Every structure is written in structure tokens, then in C-alpha cells.
């Protein structure tokens, strides 16, 4: 039996039906899932009941699983690859990062080798009298590129951005060691997808701090214009979470942003895994 793919009808993303991640998965089935991620940028698998080990094993099908620098404080015993995104406290201490990704971004663009894909598995979803909160928005960077006028595409094609770990406000102090691990790097602001060859915009506020060969004002203006273009409503899908959702996004094709429209006692808990990628070109 093969999978059923239901596109979201929004700017990107598709739901994959008839997959149980708790069952063994042969290469053929995984290839269909991977092809769906390549095509749609975001995939959603509902009603999954899996252990941390099963999530890590599924993540590893996409590539080497990274251990996040936050996982030593916000991890799960026995599964260092799982990093908790959560606003829950236990004995007065947060168990995870509470406001991860509240501005538009793509994961680890500040690294020489950014993340290929990120997976979130919803364990607890905040709600108000049945209305779920804490949605995640996604934007299609490839569709945003396609929609640019040819003259602007030509101007952007050879440009290189500077990406800096320190460009983004973070929820808590970052250790000197982590900062030293991520010196500023350069990436093309028009990326070619390593698997599909499709071009997409790779630029966003905060993480992208400048453009090589442009003065600060000129660069910031271009970054702002492109960042706003990428999140035009026609390129966006807003995911409303249900407990048991497993969502995987491609960090080349998609940017994302967390909606912070809830607070304790409304609880949110996600298990996050990250798959290593390749040097952007």
C-alpha cells in the first residue's frame, strides 16, 4: 500500500496519510515520503504515537541527526538527539526552549553547514476552550523566488549574504563556547536545492546581517524587501497543531515562524530533531 498525499491548498506543505511511524518502514515507503518533502517543502503526519527512539530513527532516514547546543539542558534522558521546545517548568525550571523561532527564519542559517530538515512532534498543544494555540507558520522560498520579476532575479543571482549567529535575539544567554562555534558565515542569498535543483531565496532578517559588497543601509533595505516578499500570504501555510502531529520541514524550501499567542497555564511541548544538511550553493 502506498501513501496518500494531500496538499494543504496553501503556499506549501502536504499531509501524508496511511503512514504509521511506529511500524517498520521499507526503503520504498521512505523514498515516497522523502519525495513528498522535496516537492512540498513541509510534510505533516497526523496521529503518530512514537517513542523518542522511533522519532530519532525516522529522522536518521533523512541524514545524520544533529545534537542541538541546547539539548544538554533541554533534552530527554537516553535520547540526546531530542531537544525540547516547551514553556513547561518542572521544579521551577524550564524543561525546554519556550519561544523558539518567534521571528521568521530557517534553521541554522548561521552555520557553515545549515540543517537540511527539522522535525517537530507535538506532545502537548496549548488551547483556549478548544481553540488550539501556538501554530507554526511556513513560507515557500522557492515560490517566492519564482514570483520575482526577471530583472530583480538577475540582480540577486550572484549575491552573497553574511549570516551571523549573534544577529538574532535569543531567549537566554548563549555560552561563549557556542558563540565561538558559530563565527559569521557567507551563503548565496539565492540557493539551489541540493536534491531538486530548484532555486529559492535564502535571506531573512536578523540571521542575515549583511550583503557582501553593499553598504549597510542598502543591504538592510534589500533584506527587508525580500523578507517581506517571502511571507506574502500566497506563499504561506499556517499549521494548526494537534497532539500526535509529526511535521518535517525542508530548511532550504521553507522558512518558519512560531506564533506565541499562549502562556502558562497553557502548555506546549514539542520534541524536536534536526537533520544535518550540506553547504549551500
What is the sign, positive or negative, of the torsion defined by CA atoms of 211, 217, 220, 226?
A: negative
**Cβ 265 to ligand OGA shortest distance, Å:** 19
CB of 256 to ligand OGA, least distance (A): 6
The residue within the footprint of ligand OGA, chosen from 16, 56, 100, 117 (CB under 6 A), is 100
185 binds ligand OGA (CB under 6 A): no
Asked if 134 interacts with Mn ion (CB under 5 A), we say no
Which of 81, 107, 164, 245 contacts ligand OGA by CB under 6 A?
107
Residue 161 makes contact with Mn ion by CB under 5 A: no
Residue 229 falls in the annotated catalytic set: no
Q: Is residue 215 helix, strand or coil?
A: coil
- d(CA 45, CA 47) in angstroms, rounded, equals 7
Q: What Å distances lie between residue 160 and 44, 182, 229, CA to CA?
A: 32, 18, 18
Choice among 107, 164, 207, 250 that is catalytic? 107
- Tell me the closest approach of the beta carbon of residue 212 to ligand OGA, in angstroms: 26
40 is catalytic: no
User: By C-alpha distance, which of 30, 192, 225, 208 is closest to 106?
Assistant: 208
Residue 44, interface with ligand OGA (CB under 6 A)?
A: no
Question: Residue 39 is inside which H or E element, if any?
Answer: helix 27-40
Among 12, 16, 43, 270, binds ligand OGA (CB under 6 A): 270
Check binding of 250 to ligand OGA (CB under 6 A).
Answer: no
Give the angle 1-18-130 at the CA atoms, nearest 5°: 170
Instruction: Return the residue of 107, 164, 245, 250 that touches Mn ion, per CB under 5 A.
Output: 107
Amino acid at each position: 500500500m502506498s501513501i496518500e498525499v494531500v496538499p494543504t491548498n496553501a503556499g506549501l506543505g502536504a499531509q501524508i496519510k496511511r503512514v504509521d511511524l511506529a511500524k517498520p518502514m521499507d526503503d520504498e515507503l521512505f523514498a515516497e515520503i522523502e519525495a513528498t518533502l522535496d516537492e512540498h517543502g513541509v510534510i505533516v503526519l497526523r496521529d503518530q504515537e512514537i517513542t523518542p527512539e522511533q522519532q530519532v530513527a525516522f529522522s536518521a532516514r533523512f541524514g545524520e541527526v544533529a545534537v542541538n547546543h541546547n539539548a544538554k539542558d533541554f533534552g530527554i534522558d537516553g535520547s540526546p538527539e531530542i531537544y525540547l521546545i516547551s514553556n513547561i517548568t518542572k521544579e521551577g525550571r524550564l524543561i525546554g526552549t519556550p519561544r523558539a523561532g518567534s521571528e521568521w527564519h530557517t534553521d541554522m542559517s548561521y552555520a557553515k553547514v545549515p540543517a537540511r530538515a527539522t522535525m517537530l512532534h507535538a506532545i502537548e498543544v496549548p488551547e483556549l476552550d478548544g481553540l488550539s494555540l501556538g501554530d507554526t507558520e511556513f513560507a515557500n522560498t522557492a515560490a517566492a523566488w519564482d514570483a520575482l520579476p526577471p530583472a530583480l532575479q538577475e540582480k540577486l543571482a550572484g549575491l552573497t549574504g553574511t549570516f551571523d549567529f549573534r544577529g538574532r535575539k535569543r531567549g537566554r544567554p548563549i555560552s561563549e563556547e557556542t558563540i565561538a562555534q558559530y563565527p559569521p558565515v557567507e551563503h548565496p542569498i539565492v540557493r539551489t536545492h541540493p536534491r531538486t535543483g530548484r532555486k529559492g531565496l535564502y535571506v531573512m532578517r536578523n540571521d542575515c546581517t549583511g550583503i557582501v559588497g553593499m553598504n549597510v543601509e542598502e543591504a538592510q533595505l534589500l533584506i527587508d524587501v525580500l523578507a517581506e516578499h517571502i511571507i506574502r500570504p500566497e506563499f504561506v501555510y499556517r499549521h494548526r497543531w494537534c497532539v500526535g502531529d509529526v511535521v518535517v520541514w525542508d530548511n532550504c524550501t521553507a522558512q518558519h515562524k512560531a506564533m506565541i499567542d499562549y502562556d502558562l497555564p497553557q502548555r506546549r511541548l514539542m520534541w524536536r530533531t534536526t537533520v544535518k544538511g550540506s553547504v549551500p550553493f
